[in-house]
């Protein structure tokens, strides 16, 4: 296991094994996770702050990190937002869903180091899962609304949603529509870049950078809202405010049989391939921020 793979494993193991299930009904555990993520971001030299909000008479937090607090004074230009949620459904340790996304977010910050773009905002969201899922109570919705109210422009938003489950077994990949089996691989050994029709150019921009990096097989899909699974994460919140957004994913329940189950554990994940995804993302961020791969 490479050093990057090992770092990813340690984060996923801490969240899914040391902490365990992290549902909305356990704000005490979510606070521990908040502080853990903030500490990891702080280790990379980034400035870290919280966006606090209330739900069901409890307090919750998004964890934000950038070179500086981007909201202390008016921000000009276009932000790039990359986020992942740290809560889980009740009863699931959530190694893939979504400790893998949080691990990717932290490892991205570490990997960028001194090359961290001035316009990049990293966000660890809470309350992505039910009962807040696809409602204005989602942490990502709170941030998207805040950005829109401030009239902050985005180049785009990337949601990291389940990055660690891969399979080379034929027939291991499933799809929301029957015809897609003739267009995409039937092995779950690729990473997906998924967005809505409005975000097609942004989705293709990310895919092109991943393909140029050449580290992990990459497929993309730009689809209307009725294709089930294409907006099932925090990028949905940004769609609601007219922002372009895309999800990087191992395709969740279309591939991973442990989705939302007690068996969603680190032992089921491929950390070497996850590291390839994160490195591809690092190179993509540099490309989209004006640097070259």
DSSP string, 191-218: EEEEEEGGGHHHHHHHHHHHHHHTSS-E
Instruction: Judge contact between 159 and 233, C-beta under 8 A.
Output: yes
pTM: predicted TM-score of the whole model, two decimal places: 0.95
**3-state secondary structure (DSSP) of residue 111:** helix
Res 226: pLDDT = 65
58-66 and 218-223 beta bridge pairing: unpaired
pLDDT above 50 (res 291): no
Between residues 70 and 135, the one the model is more confident about: 135
* pLDDT band with cut points at 50, 70 and 90 for residue 1: low
Instruction: Judge contact between 34 and 40, C-beta under 8 A.
Output: no
* pLDDT band with cut points at 50, 70 and 90 for residue 2: low
* pLDDT band with cut points at 50, 70 and 90 for residue 77: confident
Res 118: pLDDT = 93
Instruction: Judge contact between 103 and 11, C-beta under 8 A.
Output: yes
How many whole angstroms separate alpha carbon 239 and alpha carbon 25?
Answer: 27
pLDDT above 60 (res 3): no
Specify the CATH number of the domain 3-288.
3.40.630.10
Task: Give the mean model confidence (pLDDT) for residues 6-10.
Answer: 97
46's CB contacts (< 8 A; 6+ apart) are 65, 66, 67, 109, 116, 122
Task: Give the mean model confidence (pLDDT) for residues 79-96.
Answer: 97
Nearest to 82, CA basis, from 102, 97, 96, 98: 102
How many whole angstroms separate alpha carbon 275 and alpha carbon 1?
Answer: 10
How many whole angstroms separate alpha carbon 12 and alpha carbon 19?
Answer: 10
Structure tokens at 119: 């316009």
Between residues 203 and 293, the one the model is more confident about: 203
124's CB contacts (< 8 A; 6+ apart) are 34, 37, 62, 63, 64, 83, 84, 85, 86, 102, 105
Half-sphere exposure of 289 (CA within 13 A, CB side): 20
How many whole angstroms separate alpha carbon 221 and alpha carbon 214?
Answer: 19
Q: In percent, how much of the chain has pLDDT > 90?
A: 87
Instruction: Judge contact between 157 and 238, C-beta under 8 A.
Output: yes
Structure tokens at 31: 């606070």
Res 293: pLDDT = 35
């Amino acid at each position: 296991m490479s050093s990057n793979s090992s770092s990813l494993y340690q984060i996923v193991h801490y969240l899914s094994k040391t902490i365990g299930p992290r549902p909305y009904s356990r704000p005490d555990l979510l606070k521990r996770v908040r502080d853990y993520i903030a500490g990891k971001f702080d280790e990379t030299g980034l400035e870290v702050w919280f966006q606090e909000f209330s739900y069901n008479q409890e307090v919750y937090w998004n964890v934000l990190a950038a070179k500086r607090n981007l909201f202390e004074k008016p921000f000009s230009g276009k932000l790039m937002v990359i986020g992942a949620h740290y809560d889980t459904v009740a009863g699931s340790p959530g190694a893939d869903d979504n400790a893998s996304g949080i691990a990717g977010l932290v490892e991205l910050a570490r990997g960028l180091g001194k090359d961290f773009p001035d316009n990049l905002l990293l966000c660890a969201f809470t309350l992505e899962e039910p009962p807040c899922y696809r409602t204005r109570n989602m942490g990502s919705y709170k941030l998207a609304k805040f950005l829109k109210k401030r009239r902050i422009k985005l180049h785009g938003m990337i949601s990291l949603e389940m990055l660690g489950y891969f399979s080379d077994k034929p027939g291991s990949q499933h799809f929301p529509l029957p015809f897609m089996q003739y267009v995409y691989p039937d092995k779950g050994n690729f990473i997906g870049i998924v967005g809505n029709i409005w975000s097609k150019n942004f989705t293709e921009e990310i895919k092109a950078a991943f393909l140029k990096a050449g580290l992990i097989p990459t497929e993309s899909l730009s689809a209307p809202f009725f294709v089930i699974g294409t907006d099932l994460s925090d990028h949905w919140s940004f769609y609601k405010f007219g922002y372009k957004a895309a999800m990087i994913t191992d395709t969740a329940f279309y591939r991973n049989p442990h989705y939302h189950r007690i068996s969603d554990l680190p032992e089921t994940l491929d950390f070497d391939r996850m590291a390839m995804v994160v490195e591809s993302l690092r190179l993509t961020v540099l490309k989209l921020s004006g640097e070259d791969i």
